[in-house]
C-alpha cells in the first residue's frame, strides 16, 4: 500500500519543498567552497557567529539583509544598499570588484572570476546557520 502512495508523496515534496532541513544555497560543492573561503575570504571574515574581523562574520550570511549585523560597523553604502544576501545576489556581488558592486564600501576585494568557485563558496556559506 505504501509503495503505491510513494509517487504522490514525491510529487508533494516537489511542490512543498523539503520538509526537513534547508535546501543547498546554490548548485556548488560545499566542501570545495570551504577551501575557496579559506583562500579568498578568511583573512577578513570569520565563520563564527558574533566574531567579526576586518569584515563582518559570514555566519548566516545567506538570507541576511545587507549591513544588518548589530555588532559590526558597516559603511553607509552597504547599510543603504537595500538588498538581501541571496545566492543570486552573492553570485553577482562576488563576480566583480566590491567597490564596483557597492560604491563607497571599504571592502577591498577584486572579485572571484571562476563561476564554479563562486557556486562552491555560496553553497558552503549556505550551510552556515
Nearest C-alpha neighbor of 90 from the set 49, 118, 129: 118
The answer to whether residue 49 scores a pLDDT higher than 80 is yes
Do the domain assignments include residue 14?
A: no
What the block records as the C-alpha cell of 44 is 577578513
The whole-number average pLDDT for the span 62-83 is 95
Do the domain assignments include residue 8?
A: no
Q: pLDDT digit string (tens) for 15-46?
A: 444 434 444 445 899 999 999 999 999 999 99
CA-based torsion, 99, 105, 110, 111: positive or negative = negative
Do the domain assignments include residue 37?
A: yes
Integer CA distances (angstroms), 74 to 20, 23, 53, 70, 91, in order:
34, 29, 12, 9, 21
Paired with 84 in beta bridges are 65
- CATH code of the domain covering residue 85: 1.10.760.10
Distance (Å, whole) CA 30 – CA 7: 30
Amino acid at each position: 500500500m505504501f509503495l503505491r502512495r510513494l509517487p504522490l508523496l514525491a510529487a508533494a515534496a516537489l511542490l512543498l519543498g523539503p520538509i526537513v532541513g534547508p535546501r543547498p544555497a546554490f548548485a556548488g560543492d560545499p566542501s570545495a567552497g570551504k577551501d575557496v573561503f579559506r583562500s579568498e575570504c578568511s583573512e577578513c571574515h570569520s565563520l563564527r557567529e558574533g566574531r567579526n574581523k576586518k569584515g563582518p562574520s559570514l555566519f548566516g550570511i545567506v538570507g541576511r539583509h545587507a549591513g544588518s549585523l548589530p555588532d559590526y560597523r558597516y559603511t553607509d553604502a552597504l547599510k543603504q544598499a537595500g538588498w538581501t544576501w541571496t545566492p543570486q545576489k552573492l553570485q553577482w556581488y562576488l563576480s566583480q570588484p566590491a567597490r564596483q558592486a557597492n560604491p563607497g564600501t571599504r571592502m577591498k576585494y577584486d572579485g572571484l572570476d571562476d563561476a564554479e568557485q563562486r557556486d562552491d563558496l555560496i553553497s558552503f556559506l549556505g550551510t552556515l546557520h
